[in-house]
Amino acid sequence: MKWNRVFCVASALFVALATFAADGAAPRSNSRIRCIIETDAGGDPDDEQSFVRFLLYANESDMEGIITVGRTDPAQVLAPFFHPPAEYANQFGSYRSPLKFEDGTPVKTAADWVRRREEILKQWHDLMGPWPPILQAPKLEFLPVVEQASPLRPGRPALETNAARTKARTGETPAPLPGEKFERHRVRLEIAPGQTGEGWLLVPEGKGPFPAVLVLYYEPETSVGLGKEPLRDFGLQLARRGFVTLSIGTPGGNAWKPELGSAQCQPLSYHAYVAANCWQALANLPQVDSARIGVVGHSYGGKWAMFAGALWEKFAAVAVSDPGVVFDETRPNVNYWEPWYLGLDANEKRPKAGLPMVDNPRTGAYKRMVETGRDLHELHALIAPRPFLVSGGSEDPPARWLAVNHLLAVNQLLGWTNRVALTSRPAHPPTAESNEQLYAFFEHFLKTDGPFLGR
């Protein structure tokens, strides 16, 4: 971070001058260094450690003052993104309004919306297939602790390294290192009847209960900084900001062939069911405030998070990073038609993966959704009035406001504003800026002093 570099430079300069004087150079009269420190220490372990290193030499200088610089107010970070650009304002595209019942009757009141929401939810479950019963008390096993496989630079948080520098065998938790302000546990969780998955549970130090976020991705290591892909460590970064985080991966470990057990629903719906059981596991922890549990994911994990937030109303806030928030058959990566998402069909197989074509047709629930005019803006509507962030990239450019505006309209009917945001970046991978916006979203809506919606 910026002030971390300031500390390092200031520390290095001071040590160099002190060493020069110690080596026999005749110091000028009153040559003690006078300095003012500007810092955001308290927001990041690196900054705190740099500040401590500087203070080791404090008796050799005249410190005239310390200016503390906190993080930008999350509300200020988010403010520009709650409203569409002028070209998309009050534009709804060709999407059918969710504020009309199936028979065309308009939704005029909040009471009407309750009935309309139930209608949408039933339609989607009928299309995708029913869930198994929710697990009220999923089993959560804390796995054994082992020593780090390779030494790390002193003072660095272990989870900040990648898999090449810190490794643990399956079923083991690397021992924590100095500098971490949270407990970290490798856990085995019951995600469905007769099915378990391993993940990472990070718990801040201090007295809870804390807000929490479920982090979804192909595998859990990336989400806690142990993977090879940068800027996808949502679980780690949110834990540093005072959230309990639970990071999990694909049921069964293969995103292209997820294990569905005996469930009779589409894979993406089953993923949402697994997320609902993870919500139950988090809600049962004494360190977690069950009214403040959010869900987040990038790309595949973003699809998973969006369906989880829409289909399980107890998630208090939902953030998705460039998943493709509507059906779009011009974008190969917005591939809801594939059998590992919504195209599973016991009677008809797609010849190959890829865009739907005459010789490679739609199948399964996705086919029926398209034929009946369904689209994902209806799922967005199910999230209302809970906060929803689309961290958009190449798959979710600003034009997605045409769909997201329908969610704005639902929120307005219910009396809520500034709860739906869409940010933009040019490419699919997250950036440091887009991640700060995402973290600000959860800080704003789920921290104790924020306007979260307890449900």
Question: Per residue, what are the HEC states of 67-88?
Answer: EECCCCCHHHHHHHHCCCCHHH
| Averaged pLDDT for residues 394-421 | 98
| Averaged pLDDT for residues 394-419 | 98
Residue 133 has pLDDT above 80, yes or no: yes
Least confident stretch, 1-5, 52-56, 371-375, 448-452:
1-5
Domain boundaries, the chain: 2-70, 75-326+375-446
Write down the pLDDT at residue 174: 58
Write down the pLDDT at residue 5: 43
Query: CA–CA separation, 238 vs 448, rounded Å?
Result: 15
The more confidently predicted of residues 206 and 116 is 116
For the chain, what percent of residues have pLDDT higher than 70?
A: 79
Query: CA–CA separation, 188 vs 171, rounded Å?
Result: 8
Q: Write the CA distances from 320 to 14, 74, 330, 345, 411, integer angstroms.
A: 45, 17, 20, 27, 18
Write down the pLDDT at residue 40: 60
Residue 419 has pLDDT above 60, yes or no: yes
Domain boundaries 75-326+375-446, CATH class: alpha beta
Residue 350 has pLDDT above 80, yes or no: yes
The more confidently predicted of residues 449 and 455 is 449
Residue 369 has pLDDT above 80, yes or no: yes
For the segment 134-171, what is each residue's pLDDT rounded down to a tens digit? 999 999 999 986 544 333 233 333 333 223 233 444 55
Task: Using alpha carbons, select from 208, 165, 322, 191 the residue that is nearest to residue 248.
Answer: 191
The more confidently predicted of residues 62 and 27 is 62
Write down the pLDDT at residue 67: 72
Report strand pairing: 173-174 vs 145-146. Answer: parallel
| Averaged pLDDT for residues 422-446 | 98
| Averaged pLDDT for residues 399-403 | 98
- Are residues 170 and 234 in contact, defined by beta-carbon separation less than 8 angstroms? no
Write down the pLDDT at residue 62: 80
The more confidently predicted of residues 255 and 7 is 255
Write down the pLDDT at residue 151: 32
Write down the pLDDT at residue 63: 76
Give the pair of three-digit tokens for residue 7. 């500390």
Radius of gyration of the chain (CA): 25
Residue 126 has pLDDT above 90, yes or no: yes
Mean of per-residue pLDDT scores for the chain: 86
Write down the pLDDT at residue 176: 58
For the segment 19-46, what is each residue's pLDDT rounded down to a tens digit? 444 444 444 445 677 878 776 655 554 5
Write down the pLDDT at residue 112: 98
The more confidently predicted of residues 34 and 440 is 440
Least confident stretch, 14-28, 64-78, 195-209:
14-28
Write down the pLDDT at residue 274: 98
Least confident stretch, 39-48, 94-103, 204-213, 397-406:
39-48
Dihedral (CA of 382, 387, 393, 398) sign: positive
| Averaged pLDDT for residues 66-83 | 85
Residue 344 has pLDDT above 80, yes or no: yes
- Given pLDDT bands bounded at 50, 70 and 90, which one contains residue 172? low
